Amino acid sequence: MTGKLIQMGASLIAILALAWIALRLGLGGDARIRDEAHLRELAQEALYGFEPVEIAIDRAGLAALARDGEGRVMLLRRHGAHFAARLLDGHAHARLDRNFLVVGTSDRRFGEITLDLGPQAQAWAASLRRL
């Protein structure tokens, strides 16, 4: 009986130690795009020299669209505790559903993303059709 209690106590200490290490490393958490400045930082990390001039952030902060001065459009989405980005090309597709914009890239592994853009959704859908 005492051996089982010691084993259970050691397991609990190990679990707490792993949780503390994960917290210190910044793993997990609820990654969201906080504001335009944060989106600009993420876009710059994804592609050096990409300076957004037009931005649309999903209401939940899980994804965003950004257009630079050259007309390139970047789609950012949450991927675990980080963000992944793709430049949209002519093979991207966009589908409008009221205030929601569903965007897919030519990269199947990236998947489709549904962005709640509110009134901006229509303007972005129209501009993505011209890619």
Evaluate whether 30 touches 62 at the Cβ level (below 8 Å). Answer: no
48-92 residue pLDDT tens: 999 999 999 999 999 999 999 999 999 999 988 789 999 998 878
Q: Is residue 131 over pLDDT 90?
A: no
pTM: 0.76
Q: What is residue 22's DSSP assignment?
A: H
The pLDDT value recorded for residue 5 is 86
- pLDDT at 27 exceeding the cut of 80: no
Residue type, 114: T
Which is more confidently placed, 25 or 75? Answer: 75
Distances (CA, A) of 49 to 3, 15, 41, 52, 82: 60, 42, 11, 10, 20
Q: 113 near 63, Cβ under 8 Å?
A: yes
**Element (H or E) spanning 115, and its range?**
strand 112-116
Residue 124 binned pLDDT confidence (cut-offs 50, 70, 90): very high
Q: Are 118 and 97 in contact (CB under 8 A)?
A: no
Q: If you write DSSP's letter for every residue of 72-99 in order, what string do you get?
A: -EEEEEEETTEEEEEE--TT-EEEEETT
